[in-house]
Amino acid sequence: MVKDQEFLEKKASYCLGLAKKLGATESSVIVNNSVSETVNFRNKKLDESNRSDDLGISITTYIGKKKSSISSSNLLEDNLNILIEKCVETTKNTPEDEFNSLPDKDLLAKEVKDLDLYDDTRIENDQKIDYLKKLESAASNDKKIVNTESSFTQNKSNFILANSEGFCAGYKTSSFTASSVTVAKDEKSMERDYEYSSKCFLKDLDDAGELGKQAADQTIRKLSPKKIGSEKIAIIFDKRIAKGILSTFASAISSSAISRGTSFLKDKVNQKIFSDKINVLDKPDILKGLGSRNFDSEGVKTDTLKLVDQGILKHYLIDTYNGKKLNLKSNGRCGGTSNLYFENGNISFKDLLNSKSKSLYITETIGHGSNIVTGDYSVGATGFLVENGEFKYPINEITIAGNFKDMFKNITLANDLEFKYSTNSPTMMIEGMVVAGK
């Protein structure tokens, strides 16, 4: 069982007390415990079971404007004593930084709302096995499927965040995740694809049969791919890829990239960076939301932010340190975004596919080809050629490239947003990108 609030609070207050005694002027601590149980199947048979019980503590101590931190998985008092002493010693020897401090007291979260993030249901391994049997049977229905791997994970976590200003809060969260990876084969090729579902509550998880069938269908349609020539063409990004473009946007507006001057979106607040129709929201209080939270990793209250309003950038994602550096108040985004999404566009998925006589529909990208300093984007891609709204044939071994500054202004969104991950996008079309192939 995951450790209770009382255990975590006791450890946190012990650390704060000791840090103070040893000479820290301010300090903060996070204690967390996470218990996961996973069962993996392969080709309809049990392949692996895995139980993990992770404890962690991280402490930051300040002496005036000097700061240092330690973390450990060993919560025994002997070990904590050694580490906190080491932390305070290191703090004394670390140079001052005028922007180091705990968050302003008036920005700290005052209340912890119940966002429905914890499901107490315990699912035994035998039930996980039943789910996976059903999933793999649906996934391997077609003879072209030659390998299936699937997994079911139950996770329960609890944490406490406390600081020397009196902040002390935390709560339990849970997640239930199922995934299926399938390999299909024909005379010419072997391809892999996947499907996945993750929810806070067990009862909301996708049906096993549906999930398996979806994974298999998505794999089989990739068989016998072709390579196309190099050309300028409209790209349609499947939702699972479009969300990655939104994540890149989020890292480019993080206050650390902005204050260091290493983002192509520096100094762009109140300027138009997307087309008129684009709105981006970060909404932390969605019930059962995969990214929902009451406060950020410094304890600062998080409110909903409309990051982009009709194409105009309205906010950076600000934490305490970089906020002070930029002369801005923290907006509770230390540690990143919560539930980040593009609002729906006003065109259906079908109409989006139909809007060009020829386009490329991308279902997977590989490589780390997003550069937030320059905005350059270049990745390997897999997908389908679309002609007059129809999927013609699968395509691979191509790259797609552009620069985010141009790409953002050429985005058209469909109206098919769903909350499957913590960052979500409707299907997205970007015109004017370059495909490199033959």
Site for other proteins in 193-232 (CB under 8 A): 225, 230-232
Is 54 one of the binding residues for other proteins (CB under 8 A)?
yes
Element at 403 (helix H, strand E):
strand 390-403
Dihedral pair phi/psi, residue 258, rounded to 5°: -70, -45
The answer to whether the Cα torsion of 358, 401, 335, 100 is positive or negative is negative
Residues 388-427 binding other proteins (CB under 8 A) are 396-403
Assess 248 for contact with other proteins (CB under 8 A). Answer: no
* 436 lies in the binding site for other proteins (CB under 8 A): yes
Please state, in angstroms and rounded to a whole number, the distance separating the CA atoms of residues 132 and 153: 11
Shortest Cβ 379–other proteins spacing (Å)? 6
Can you tell me which residue has the tokens 């300093």? 373
Smaller CB separation from other proteins, 68 or 423: 68
Site for other proteins in 315-374 (CB under 8 A): 364, 366-369, 371, 373-374
Polymer length of the chain: 438
Nearer to other proteins, 294 or 365 (CB): 365
User: Applying CB under 8 A, which part among 133-141, 184-192, 245-253, 417-425 lies near other proteins?
Assistant: 184-192
Query: Interaction with other proteins in 260-279: which residues (CB under 8 A)?
Result: 260-262, 264
* Distance in angstroms (rounded) separating the CA atoms of residues 320 and 310: 28
Which residue number, 115 or 160, has a Cβ lying nearer to other proteins? 160
C-beta of 152 vs 342, nearer to other proteins:
152
Residues in region 77-96 near other proteins by CB under 8 A? 78-79, 83, 86-87, 90, 93-95
d(CA 397, CA 401): 14
What is the footprint of other proteins within residues 283-302 (CB under 8 A)? none
CA-based R_g, the chain, Å: 24
Neighbours of 389 (CB within 10 A): 14
85: left (phi over 0), alpha (psi -120 to 50) or beta: alpha
Question: Stretches 5-13, 16-24, 203-211, 256-264: which one binds other proteins (CB under 8 A)?
Answer: 256-264
Distance between CA 43 and CA 299 in Å, rounded? 45
On whether the CB atoms of residues 41 and 178 are closer than 8 A, the answer is: no
Task: Kindly report the number of other CB atoms within 10 A of residue 315's CB atom.
Answer: 18
Q: Which is nearer to other proteins, 353 or 398 (CB)?
A: 398
Site for other proteins, residues 93 to 112, rule: CB under 8 A: 93-95, 97
* Distance in Å, CB of 281 to other proteins, minimum: 29
Of 47 and 351, nearer to other proteins (C-beta) is 47
Handedness of CA 388, 390, 396, 401 (dihedral sign): positive
Does 116 contact other proteins by CB under 8 A? no
Left (φ > 0), alpha (ψ -120 to 50) or beta: where does 272 sit? beta
Least separation in angstroms between residue 115's CB and other proteins is 27
Closer residue to other proteins in complex, CB, 87/386 = 87
Among 190, 304, 357, 390, indicate the residue that binds other proteins (CB under 8 A).
190
Closer residue to other proteins in complex, CB, 119/364:
364
- C-alpha 69/C-alpha 87 separation (Å) is 6
142 is a contact residue toward other proteins (CB under 8 A): no
Which residue in 4, 50, 110, 276 binds other proteins (CB under 8 A)? 50
CA dihedral 99, 105, 106, 107 (to 10 degrees): 60
DSSP class of residue 68 equals E
Nearer to other proteins, 29 or 353 (CB): 29
